């Protein structure tokens, strides 16, 4: 097999040389002599940062000719607040690549990882995963985002950032909704990932991105019980990785996840569109920093609840958002009270409602699926998010030998934000279609394979096959095997991309 591969490479290289010679010395108006000029004069001293900036620009130009593909990330973690209470994935940053476990968070924009200079970062994790620290000194491709860099000015406008006059670094410091937060500085470096180009073709890819290097943490992020290396923000703003990669035409402006709720959890996360005929879509509220949706009403067993529509209005910090970085769910008081009342009135007579530590709980003698009603959150466009009892209840242990289930929705003031977290998102396909400003979902067994579309760089999609979580990389066998024919096709594809660079 090795000999065949080498032969293919030799043929391709020879073909590339032949094409190049033809372009240089052939007729038909082509220039016979190529004039080469130095990018930087020999006698001038050039700063390293200037050279790195030129390389980044050249890399971006090369990527412009790449029509893109599906980027697949492995998923670990569960929605169970008494087990893990979060979902995470792996990213590889720097040259050579350093691997990090980062929380999947659609409620924020920045990808950040802890730096080797972090003073109060956890040294071990109760999740049983190794904790790593980004060491900029060992990466040959890293460069700091300086105060004079144009990207810093744009970050300052859209995110928490400031310039340090002393260090000339573009710094950041921001806080999450639970009071935890981080501070550090922004860097440029390479992100490495696997790109699926077709039904049986996979390529190792990389791209230069901006991400955060955190030097301090505070709040719950300093605790070891659920410690990870950082947070992977999948938000709507320009600094999110999905926005950066789509601007380079590496991925479409769409990503999807399917988070497994039962057992050991896990799931699927792809920069691409998961396909399922049952997916229903609802529009995103425009000009919002988060994935805000138009929640119109809530129904229990098909009966609409008496809720004032004003509590669902999107204004300031008020509205309804989808957030994979939140474990449970939060509901404004004006909707929470009618919902709890309706559920309590609809449960089986054998269920005994109780109040435990201020929360509405229930003592259940049998399966909650048989004893509790279905709840539907109805959104604009006729899209209904139907919740099973295990999508709004959390098992809290036992009281007098009876299983105790409590509301997984927590009450917030009417001027607050309704947040649908992992409790609600699990066991469903969710598609974040930024190109068309909409979100879609469908119930799904996330331990199964999914069909994913492959973008051509235009607004048309082709079925690219299946992804599966049955393997550690979340990629099914059809994507792993590259035959001689496929390898040859891939090398010819590279030839098509590379030859124009020499013309």
Q: So which residues are the catalytic ones?
A: 105, 323
Distance, in Å, from the CA atom of 395 to the CA atom of 393, rounded to the nearest integer, reads 7
Q: Are 240 and 234 in contact (CB under 8 A)?
A: yes
Give CA angle at 413 (361, 304), nearest 5°. 65
Distance, in Å, from the CA atom of 202 to the CA atom of 471, rounded to the nearest integer, reads 15
Neighbour count for residue 184 (Cβ, 10 Å)? 25
Q: Is 282 exposed, middle or buried (0-12, 13-18, 19+ CB in 10 A)?
A: buried
Q: Are 216 and 120 in contact (CB under 8 A)?
A: yes
Distance, in Å, from the CA atom of 461 to the CA atom of 453, rounded to the nearest integer, reads 6
Helix (H, G, I), strand (E, B) or coil at 134: strand
Distance, in Å, from the CA atom of 92 to the CA atom of 191, rounded to the nearest integer, reads 6
Q: Long-range contacts of range 461-470, CB-CB < 8 Å, 24 or more positions apart?
A: 461/273, 463/275, 464/69, 464/70, 464/196, 464/198, 464/199, 464/272, 465/196, 465/198, 465/199, 465/200, 467/70, 467/72, 467/196, 467/268, 467/270, 469/75, 469/260, 469/266, 469/267, 469/268
Give CA angle at 375 (370, 376), nearest 5°. 140
Greatest Cα pair distance, the chain, in angstroms, is: 92
Distance, in Å, from the CA atom of 245 to the CA atom of 256, rounded to the nearest integer, reads 15
Helix (H, G, I), strand (E, B) or coil at 243: helix
Distance, in Å, from the CA atom of 168 to the CA atom of 148, rounded to the nearest integer, reads 8
Q: What is the DSSP string of 299-325?
A: EETTEEP---GGGG--BTTBEEEE-TT
Q: What is the DSSP letter of 464?
A: E
Q: How far is CA 107 from CA 200, 203, 265, 301, 324, in A?
A: 34, 30, 20, 30, 7
Q: How many residues does the chain have?
A: 503
């Amino acid at each position: 097999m090795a000999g065949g591969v080498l032969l293919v490479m030799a043929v391709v290289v020879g073909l590339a040389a032949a094409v190049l010679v033809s372009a240089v010395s052939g007729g038909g108006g082509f220039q016979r002599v190529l004039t080469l000029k130095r990018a930087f004069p020999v006698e001038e001293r050039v700063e390293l940062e200037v050279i790195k900036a030129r390389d980044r620009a050249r890399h971006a130009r090369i990527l412009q000719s790449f029509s893109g593909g599906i980027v697949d990330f492995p998923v670990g973690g569960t929605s169970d607040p008494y087990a893990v209470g979060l979902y995470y994935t792996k990213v590889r940053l720097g040259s050579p690549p350093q691997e990090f476990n980062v929380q999947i968070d659609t409620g924020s924009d920045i990808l950040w990882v802890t730096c080797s200079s972090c003073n109060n970062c956890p040294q071990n994790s109760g999740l049983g995963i190794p904790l790593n620290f980004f060491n900029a000194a060992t990466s040959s491709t890293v460069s700091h985002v300086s105060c004079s860099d144009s990207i810093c000015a744009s970050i300052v406008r859209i995110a928490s950032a400031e310039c340090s006059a002393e260090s000339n670094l573009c710094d950041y410091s921001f806080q999450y909704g639970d009071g935890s937060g981080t501070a550090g500085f922004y860097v440029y470096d390479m992100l490495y990932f696997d790109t699926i180009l077709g039904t049986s073709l996979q390529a190792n890819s990389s791209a230069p991105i901006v991400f955060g290097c955190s030097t301090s943490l505070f709040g719950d992020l300093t605790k070891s019980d659920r410690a990870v290396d950082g947070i992977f923000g999948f938000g709507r703003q320009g600094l999110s990785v999905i926005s950066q990669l789509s601007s380079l035409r590496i991925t479409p402006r769409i990503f999807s996840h399917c988070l497994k709720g039962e057992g050991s959890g896990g799931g699927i996360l792809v920069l691409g569109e998961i396909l399922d005929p049952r997916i229903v879509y609802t529009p995103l509220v425009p000009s919002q920093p988060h994935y805000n949706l138009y929640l119109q009403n809530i129904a229990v067993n098909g009966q609409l609840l008496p809720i004032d529509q004003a509590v669902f209005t999107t204004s300031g910090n008020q509205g309804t958002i989808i957030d994979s970085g939140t474990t449970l769910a939060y509901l404004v008081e004006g909707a929470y009270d009618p919902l709890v009342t309706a559920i309590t009135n609809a449960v089986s007579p054998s269920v005994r409602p109780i109040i435990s530590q201020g929360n509405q709980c229930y003592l259940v003698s049998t399966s909650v699926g048989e004893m509790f009603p279905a709840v539907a959150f109805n959104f604009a466009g006729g899209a209904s998010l139907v919740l099973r009892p295990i999508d709004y209840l959390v098992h809290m242990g036992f009281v007098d030998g009876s299983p105790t289930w409590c509301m997984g929705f927590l009450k917030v003031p009417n001027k607050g934000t309704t947040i649908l977290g992992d409790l609600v998102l699990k066991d469903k396909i969710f598609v974040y279609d930024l190109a068309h400003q909409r979100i879609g979902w469908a119930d799904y067994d996330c331990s199964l394979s999914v069909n994913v579309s492959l973008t051509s760089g235009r607004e048309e999609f082709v079925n690219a096959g299946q992804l599966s979580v049955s393997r550690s990389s979340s990629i099914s066998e059809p994507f792993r095997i590259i035959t001689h024919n496929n390898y040859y096709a891939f090398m010819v594809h590279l030839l098509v991309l590379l030859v124009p660079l020499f013309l």
